[in-house]
């Protein structure tokens, strides 16, 4: 039977006055939500998103369609909360993560994403980004209009093109594939990836085999690099 062992850590960073990132970990699910910086009540939006995913992660069985439904419902809850509360107008959040699901009687990993928080997979020490950033800079890079070097300096690189809190609801990306014993997942906000490059992230994960020390090491690295944004990290080890 496949199982997840996970640990999470989040920090407001060295610059922001509050932390708008939220995390959730259950036996079957790990997720990160990054409340939109500069928007009203980003921490409320991210909190709503992860609490809805917590309910999903506490179910005994999770199908891929359940993940899609939960993301859409999280969006609805955020939109309705903003409509009821003037101070929450315009709030939004990213949401990404991985769930241990089933297709028939077969275990499957279900990776989901809306926005520019990321899900990485690690097998045999190799770090691979699974999610695709829903951002202006990624769309330009994918279209061949920006090089990787230019993308790193692009002034609007923090502008995202898909988020929860939208009406109509954004369509989440979803990937479903069988688990591999010993593989790992990293779920994180751009407070990590904006400060620490993929090579350094991979090295830290190789140095720390267990989820809790790995999560702490990654957040500490982002803080040491400047900590200019809120940071959220979940590290998941898979056993099957």
In a domain, 168, yes or no: yes
Q: Flag whether 76 is in a domain.
A: yes
Say what the pTM is. Answer: 0.95
For residue 140, tell me if it sits in a domain.
Answer: no
Q: Decide if 145 is inside a domain.
A: no
164: domain CATH number is 3.60.40.10
pLDDT in tens, the chain (240 residues): 899 999 999 999 999 999 999 999 999 999 999 999 666 699 999 999 999 999 999 999 999 999 999 999 999 999 999 999 988 989 999 999 999 999 999 999 999 999 999 999 999 989 999 999 998 878 887 787 877 777 677 778 778 999 999 999 999 999 999 999 999 999 999 999 999 999 999 999 999 999 999 999 999 999 999 999 999 999 999 998
Structural domain including 219 reads 3-133+159-239
Domain presence at residue 141: no
184 belongs to a structural domain: yes
Q: Decide if 200 is inside a domain.
A: yes
- Domain for residue 154, yes or no? no
Please state the three-class secondary structure of the chain as a single string: CCEEEEEEEEECCCCCCCCCEEEEECCCEEEEEEECCCCCCHHHHHHHHHHHHHHHHCCCCCCHHHHHHHHHHHHHHHHHHHHHCHHHCCCCECEEEEEEEEECCEEEEEEEEECCCEEEEEECCEEEECCCCCEHHHHHHHCCCCCHHHHHHCCCCCCECCCECCCCCCCCEEEEECCCCCCEEEEECHHHHCCCCHHHHHHHHHHCCCHHHHHHHHHHHHHHCCCCCCEEEEEEEEEC
- Split into its structural domains, the chain has a count of 1
Q: Please tell me the predicted confidence (pLDDT) of residue 37.
A: 60
């Amino acid at each position: 039977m496949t199982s997840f062992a996970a640990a999470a850590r989040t920090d407001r960073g060295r610059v922001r006055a509050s932390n708008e990132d939220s995390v959730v970990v259950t036996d079957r699910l790990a997720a990160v939500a990054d409340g939109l910086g500069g928007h009203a009540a980003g921490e409320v939006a991210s909190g709503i998103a992860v609490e809805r995913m917590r309910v999903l992660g506490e179910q005994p069985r999770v199908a891929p369609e359940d993940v899609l439904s939960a993301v859409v419902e999280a969006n609805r809850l955020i939109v309705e909360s903003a409509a009821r509360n003037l101070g929450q107008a315009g709030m939004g959040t990213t949401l990404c993560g991985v769930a241990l699901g089933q297709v028939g009687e077969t275990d499957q990993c279900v990776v989901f994403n809306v926005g520019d928080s990321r899900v990485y997979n690690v097998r045999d020490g190799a770090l691979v980004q699974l999610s695709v950033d829903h951002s202006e800079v990624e769309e330009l890079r994918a279209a061949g209009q920006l090089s990787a070097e230019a993308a790193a300096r692009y002034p609007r690189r923090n502008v995202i093109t898909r988020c929860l809190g939208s009406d109509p609801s954004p369509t989440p990306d979803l990937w479903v594939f069988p688990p591999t014993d010993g593989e790992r997942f990293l779920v994180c906000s751009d407070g990590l990836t904006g400060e620490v490059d993929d090579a350094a992230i991979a090295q830290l994960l190789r140095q720390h085999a267990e989820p809790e020390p790995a999560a702490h090491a990654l957040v500490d690295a982002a803080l040491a690099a400047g900590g200019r944004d809120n940071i959220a990290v979940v590290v998941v080890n898979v056993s099957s």
